[in-house]
């Protein structure tokens, strides 16, 4: 089974959680080495700019998920 069977979620909150998962999976697919990701984390976890960029990526994914769910209307 696929790790992403659908973009459809029951609630906006579940959609936001899915957006976070999409963002995290993109990082994992881009850098599959756990040890390297662990070392890199120290670089961005204390950087306001990096955290803001990460929030932007989640927001873009949430926009996609919301549209796929017809904005939960």
Query: pLDDT (tens digit, 9 = 90+) per residue, 41-65?
Result: 999 999 999 999 999 999 999 999 9
> What is the DSSP annotation of 45-64?
TT-HHHHHHHHHHHHHHHHH
Query: pTM for the complete prediction?
Result: 0.92
State the pLDDT at residue 27: 96
Angle at 54 between CA 34 and CA 21, to 5 degrees: 60
Tell me what pLDDT residue 1 has: 74
At residue 19, the pLDDT reads 98
Q: Let me know if 20 is exposed, middle or buried by CB neighbors in 10 A (0-12, 13-18, 19+).
A: middle
């Amino acid at each position: 089974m696929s790790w992403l069977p659908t973009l459809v979620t029951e609630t906006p909150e579940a959609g936001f959680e899915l957006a976070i998962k999409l963002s995290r999976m993109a990082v994992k697919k881009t850098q599959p080495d756990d040890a390297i990701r662990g070392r890199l984390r120290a670089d961005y976890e204390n950087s306001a700019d990096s955290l803001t960029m990460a929030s932007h990526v989640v927001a873009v994914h949430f926009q996609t998920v919301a549209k796929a769910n017809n904005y939960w209307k």
